Amino acid sequence: MTGLSEQPGAVDPLCAALAAAVRRTAARFGGVYLVDQDESAMGAVALCGVPVDAFAPWWRSAFAATGPMQDSIRSERLVWVSSLEELARLYPRAAANLPYQLAFASAPLTHVRHCRGALLLAWPPGRTPVLSRRERGRIAFSARRIAQVLNAAAGPPVIPERPCFVPPLAGEPTPQSVSAAAGLVERLPLGTLALDLAGHITYVNTAAAKLLGKPAEQLLGTQPWQSLPWLDNLTYMDAYRTALSSRENVALTVLRPPDQWLDLRLHVDDSGTSILVTPRRSSRAPGTQPSSGAAASPESRIHLLMVLAAALTETVGVQDVVDLVAGQVLPAFGAHGMIMSAADPDRIRIIGYRGYEPDVVEQLDGLPTDADLTPAGRALATGVSLFFANREELAHLYPKAPQLSDKQAWAFLPLLSSGRPVGALLLAYNDPHHFTAAERSILTPLAGLIAQALDRARLYDTKHGLAHALQQTLLPQALPTVTGLDVAARYHPASHGVNLGGDFYDLIRLTDTTAAAVIGDVQGHDMSAAALMGLVRMAVHSHATAGATPDQVLTRTDRDLADLNASRFVSCLYAHLDLARHQVTFASAGHSPPLLRHPDNRTHAVTVRPGPPLGIGLGTHSYPLTTLPLDPGALLVLYTDGLVETPGTDIGQAITDLAESLAEWSGLPLHQLVDNLVHRTRQASQHTDDIAVLLLRRPVRHLPSCV
């Protein structure tokens, strides 16, 4: 879709359809979500009745996740959730990310040509918990109307980086004297702000401008978190979202730097948001430095923990944990730098950092874990968090601690999992920073959540490293050079697990003019599958180099598997290449047919009559032979199922599509071609199986033919 705009006067069919849906169903706000082309994620295209920035945490989400919209799209049914309690019961992870009192419905956008999607509608608390038949009909009609608009577009809709804001359809204005109202508000001794439905400031009185520290002309037309950077924090945004969703009055205390504390009270209705601003006298002791940002309420702290806990469950490796802490924990606490280290018997080993220069990190990495020398060592040794509001506090307790950066305040958090230290987390600030009791109370349990995620991530990385080493050992380190043959190969494990599978390929040089190409797939994706793959590859290699014909190689390997009682099936394709005679002979044990691209660019799947997979019998099966010419310039493609097999698709059509792509890319170098083939599959599917590909091309230069 094009033409989507945040300008109130912009007209777009999708915007109009969404605004009409919100008005028709009496919803508080709504949104249109679409699933991207590879169905890995879904994103908001347009939002109505809620400021786009306030909804930023929910612009995009994984389509594979469990949630009301995902269920609605996958099952093509209306999903209705009447309350936060029902959301927590049906979708606990979604409730952790959306802890607001809302009722909402998700209606699938069906029969859209280019994509799948959903219409999301939300209501504030207080409405009846049951959808009437008339309400269901209005929601279904609205979803059909939006689907029609999407189908009328010239091409597939594009999910933008930022969804557009759609103002709701305006109701009838109430006759009031605007000048009288403005005069009344201007005379009030407290500060008042008015925000429209998009979150932009439409009115600010003199008292509010003075308290906020900016003239009215610099505030009007902006969103508060844009013109007042000290409001750009999780606590204010959370309070704003709570007021928007619940329609309850919300109060919070914020700090206007350097030392002015302000009380804000938010009131929301269908026309926008009113904010009252009053000064608060600070009760802090002289000389202490208050923390920047807003003073989080207990509900906000619990919400922050829930959000981060849910996010940490999605991390896989150590780098994921480091990136999440840097991307979410640092801004949530206003910190400017972080260093994460892993527990080591004698030294501090840094595994990730942000906000520090690399040369500083290099000097800190490997420092002794002496509790008397560094606070990080003390945190690891005692399991107790340490907080230093300024350099003087740190120097007083740790005079020997190296001062290598310009940071001015620090929190040293031990990362404990099951009572044992797995590492330490340092949060650093560019200016002196007083750590409030509220911050300390949330940082301690947060460190425990990070420690558990880090412990899991280190275990995963260890298993991943071992699996990768085993896989690389079992697969050929380099393919042999065969005169008169150009080759390229790739192996990509499935996207889940520890990257260990049973797919394999090999190229065996037999004589100066003959070679054998092999590809196979062992049933399963575990250590046993990988081990059996290694045995099959060695057996095939042994029988081939002993002079066996293609059918004999498969028969004898099948007998070897029967002797091992492997209890797993193995598909395998064996190709004997006679480069002097310009021909190739195939034998197949239940494997996918190879593709052949002729010198004139005709491309098709080769019909090879297969025998049964290896491991089924006692080595008595026959494997028919298929012999074809292999002219100079011809290209053979051997592959495993992962390249063509996707749930819900016809494998025959997938092979045909692969052949068409192979013909389209006829001019590419071999290594670029094999990368394109793999990338094409990984983009078009969820990549649930291993992929092995072996390309063999006869160059135009050729050996003398055998007479």
Euclidean distance between CA atoms 625 and 608, whole angstroms: 8
CATH for 442: 3.30.450.40
Q: Output the pLDDT for position 471.
A: 62
Residue 128: its pLDDT value, please? 85
From CA 39, how far away is CA 69, in angstroms rounded? 13
User: Which residue carries 């000290």 as its tokens?
Assistant: 230
Q: For residues 494 and 487, is the Cβ–Cβ distance under 8 A?
A: no
Contacts 24+ apart (CB under 8 A), 57-62: 57/97, 57/307, 58/97, 58/98, 59/162, 59/163, 60/159
Partners of 605 in the β-ladder: 595
**Does residue 255 belong to any structural domain of this protein?**
yes
Out of 432, 466, 500, a domain closes at: 466
Q: How many CB atoms lie within 10 A of CB 306?
A: 16
Among candidate residues 141, 166, 191, the one where a domain is terminated? 166
Residue 628 is which amino acid?
L
Q: What is the pLDDT of residue 473?
A: 66
Residues 221 and 333 in one domain: no
**426 and 338: one domain?**
yes
Q: Residue 627 has what pLDDT?
A: 95
211 shares its domain with 305: no
CATH number at residue 667: 3.60.40.10
Q: Can you tell me whether residue 187 is helix, strand or coil?
A: helix
> What b-and-e string marks burial along 208-217, b requiring 16 or more CB atoms within 10 Å of the CB?
bbebbebeee
Return d(Cα 416, Cα 434) in angstroms, integer: 24
> By the 8 A CB rule, do 254 and 238 touch?
no
One domain, residues 287 and 321:
no
486 and 460 assigned to the same domain: no
Structural domains counted in the chain: 4
Residue at a domain's end among 413, 439, 466: 466
Q: Are residues 362 and 246 in the same domain?
A: no
pLDDT of 630: 92
90: containing domain: 13-166
Q: Flag whether 228 is in a domain.
A: yes
Domain shared by 265 and 328, yes or no:
no
Residue 172 is assigned to a structural domain of this protein: no
Rg (CA), the chain: 32
Please tell me whether residue 388 adopts helix, strand or coil conformation. Answer: strand
Is 707 among the domain residues? no
pTM of the model: 0.46
| 177 domain residue, yes or no | no
**How far is C-alpha 452 from the geometric centre of its chain's CA atoms?**
20
Co-location of 383 and 504 in the same domain: no
Distance of CA 681 to the CA centre of its chain: 19
Same-domain status, 282 and 407: no
Q: What is the CATH number of the domain that holds 265?
A: 3.30.450.20
Torsions phi, psi for 576 (to 5 deg): -95, 120
pLDDT at position 41: 82
Nearest alpha carbon to residue 259 among 288, 227, 236:
288
Distance CA 25, CA 103 (A): 13
Is the residue at 216 inside a domain? yes
Q: Which parts of 229-328 are beta strand (E)?
A: 250-256, 260-269, 272-280, 294-295
253 lies in the same domain as 397:
no
Same domain? 162 vs 187: no
Q: Is residue 271 part of a domain?
A: yes
> What is the three-class DSSP state of 359?
helix
- Closest Cα to residue 292, out of 229, 238, 237, 337? 229
Name the amino acid, one letter, at 128: T
Q: Which residue has the tokens 């494990």?
A: 493
Of all residues in the chain, what percent are helix, strand and coil, respectively (each to 5)? 35, 25, 40
Q: Are residues 383 and 498 in the same domain?
A: no
pLDDT score for 246: 72
Q: Which residues of the chain have pLDDT under 50?
A: 1-10, 172-174, 282-298, 496-498, 685-686, 702-707
Q: Who contacts 85 (Cβ-Cβ below 8 Å, separation ≥6)?
A: none
Structure tokens at 148: 């029609």
- Asked if residue 88 belongs to a domain, the reply is yes
Residue 326 DSSP label: I
Token digits for 552? Answer: 């004999």
- Vertex 572 angle, CA 566 and 578, to 5°: 135
CA separation for the pair 528, 530 (Å, rounded): 5
pLDDT the model gives residue 694: 95
